[in-house]
Amino acid sequence: MLISGFSTSPEQFAEDQGARLLEFSKAISESNCEVALFPETAITGFYPEREELYFERNVPEGPFIRFSQLATAAGSSIVAGIAEVRNGFHFNSAVVFEPSGECVTTYDKRHPFELAGEGAVITPGLQDPVFTVGSLIFSLRICYDLRFPEDFHHKSDRPDVVIVLANWPTSRSDHWEALLRARAIEGEVNIIGLNRSGIDDSGQTFDGSGLAYNPLGIRYENLSSRPNGQFTWDVSPRNEFRTVGRVGTNK
């Protein structure tokens, strides 16, 4: 299955979100991907303390509506990181949209990044939803969740692919790459990590990387020829790879 990732920065959406999303719609259509990914808090950036950047889903110009419109325009499933408010609570979420624009599932970040004060604002997620596109089952994680290996040992509804959306600083890029590969190997699962690009308001830089590993820890080739931070991978079902046996059976 072809899966594309767009390592965007919030600045790309700052002026004319409509025009920008139209460009992404064209790129998604041209890539022939079935699933397109956007980073953690893609439109607003990662600023946990700024509650004005968390949006209700029904806000016309808000991220939820924008990505729903993008899914419809592109005719592809969209997975996007969104800072949102639901029932008065703040969440750092990964939201999945069908090509119809309907939201089919939401994953809420489990492990707040306390060094940035995120735990004082967001409500940690408790659910572990999976969703299916074509023949593949997907699961979701967000940024700091990557440092908790037990969350990648799925004991039921084992996914073919775990998607990790992130705002991971360039200063720790080596950790990002090492942890993604480790989670693929120990969880015996395909892992796709998509990081934002650019510089945030504090001067922190982000490498805009997109990395995909199969269950053997071998990196998938990026098939995209676009130079603008688009990645495309042809990902195979988990059961096509010979691994050492189901993780957790000896624990």
Mean pLDDT, to the nearest integer, of 6-17? 83
End-to-end CA distance of the chain: 33
- Mean confidence (pLDDT) of the chain: 92
Residue 213 lies in domain = 2-240
Residue 249 in domain: no
Q: How many domains in the chain?
A: 1
Query: Residue 250's pLDDT band (boundaries 50, 70, 90)?
Result: very low
Residue 28 in domain: yes
Choose the weakest-confidence range: 6-15, 190-199, 208-217: 6-15
What pLDDT is recorded for position 244?
56
Residue 250 in domain: no
Q: In the chain, pLDDT over 90 holds for what percent of residues?
A: 80
Q: pTM above the 0.75 mark?
A: yes
What pLDDT is recorded for position 14?
75
Digit-coded pLDDT (tens) for 156-190: 568 999 999 999 999 999 999 999 999 999 999 99
Residue 29 in domain: yes
Residue 152 in domain: yes
- Answer whether residue 249 shows pLDDT above 50: no
CATH number of the CATH domain containing 52: 3.60.110.10
Residue 246 in domain: no
Residue 245 in domain: no
Mean pLDDT, to the nearest integer, of 151-157? 73
Q: What is the DSSP string of 202-235?
A: TS-EEE--EEEE-TTSPBPPP----SSSEEEEEP
Residue 66 in domain: yes
